[in-house]
Amino acid sequence: MSSIIASVLAGLCIILSTSLSGCSKDDGSGSSTSNAGISLNDALGREVLFERPAERVVSLSPAVTEILYAIGAGDKVVGVTIYDNFPPEVKGKEKVGDFSNPSMERIISLRPDVVFISPTQKTERLARAETLGLKIVAVHPVNLPEVYEAIKLIGKVVGEEQRSVLLVKKMMGEFSQLKRLVSQIPRGKRRRVYIELSQDPFWTAGKSSFVGQLVEVAGGDNIADLPLPYGTINPEVIIQKDPEVIIIAHPGIKRDEVGRRLGWARITAIQTGRVYDDIDVDMIIRYGPRLGQGARDLFKRFYPEIVNPDSENTE
C-alpha cells in the first residue's frame, strides 16, 4: 500500500535528516509523489508508476473528463468517448468510441501518457495495449469520500494536485451549505424518495452509493435498502415503501407513463404529481464537479416550497 510505503519513507527521512522534498509524500488519495516520479493505486488495486505528470490524456469516462476540465487540465485531454458532452469545449476533442468498444488503434495513435478507464472497461484489448507501453488508470469511486479521493488522484496524475484539492473543498462546501438548509427539516418530515436508474429491470441507487448519498444531502429519505451500492428493486417493494418523490434518471420512460404501471396509481408521488424526469441526469450519476448542483436540483424537487438553495451563497 502506498500509505505504508509513504510512512516508512517519512521515517527514513527523519532518521537520515534529509529534507521533506526529497521523500515521498502521501496525500491520502492512494498516490504518492517523489523526486523519482508518481506512484498510485488505481481502482483495480494495481500500482501504476509515472516518471512525470501526464501531458496527453485519453478519458474513457465522461466523469473523469469533467474533473480534468474542472481542475484546469482540459488542454491535456486529447481523446474522449462519444458520450462526453460537458463542458462544451469537449465536443471538439477526438472521439475514440464508446465505453464498451473503444478503438484501441485510435487511442494509440493519439500517443497518450495515460488512459483513464472504468474497471468494467478492463478488457483483454486494453490489457494487451498495456504491453505496448500504454499507461492505464482505472477510476471507480462508489461513495462521496471515494469521489473526493478519485479527484485528487486524477489531479496527481496530471500535475494539478492543488487545483484538485480546491475542487474537493468547493464540493464539500456546497454539500455543507445544503446540509445546513436540510437540517431545518425534522427527520420525520423528510420526503421518501425513489431514484429510478432503469426500468427493465428496476434499478436504483442504494444508500451507500454517492447517488444515494446525494439524496440524503438533499434532504431525501431513500426508500432503497440495498445490500450493495446499486441494484435491482422489486416494484412491489416500491409500492409498499410509498415514495413521496420519484426521480426518473433514465430516458426509458416519461413521467406521465409512470402512473400507468400496475399498482403504482396509489403511490403518493403519483397522486401528488411529484414524479420528475426533467433533472440533468449527468449531474447526479457522474462523479464529478457538478454533483453539488445535482444535489441542489434534487432539493428543489424534494422541497419546492422551501427557499431556492441557489439563492444561498455557496462560496
pLDDT in tens, 151-179: 999 999 999 999 999 999 999 999 999 99
Q: Grid coordinates representing 262? A: 400496475
Please name the residues in contact with 251: beta carbons below 8 A apart, sequence gap of 6 or more.
none
211: helix, strand or coil: helix
Q: Considering the chain, what percentage of its residues have pLDDT values greater than 70?
A: 85
Query: 139 vs 31, 67, 154, 254, 285, CA distance in Å?
Result: 13, 12, 9, 32, 14
Domain residue spans of the chain: 2-159, 184-311
Q: At residue 264, does pLDDT exceed 90? A: yes
The reported pLDDT for the residue numbered 126 is 67
Contact 220, 279 (CB under 8 A): no
Q: Rounded to an integer, what distance in angstroms lies between the CA atom of residue 102 and that of residue 210?
A: 26
Cell triple for residue 100? 464498451
Q: What pTM was computed for the model?
A: 0.86
Residue with cell 440495498: 226
184-311 and 2-159 share a CATH fold: yes
Burial of 241 (0-12, 13-18, 19+ CB in 10 A): middle
Looking at domain 2-159, which of 3.40.50.1980, 3.40.50.620, 3.40.1410.10, 3.90.650.10 is its CATH number? 3.40.50.1980
Q: Which CATH topology does 184-311 take?
A: Rossmann fold (3.40.50)
The answer to whether 133 touches 50, Cβ cutoff 8 Å, is no
My answer on whether omega of the bond before 87 falls inside 30° of 0, hence cis, is yes
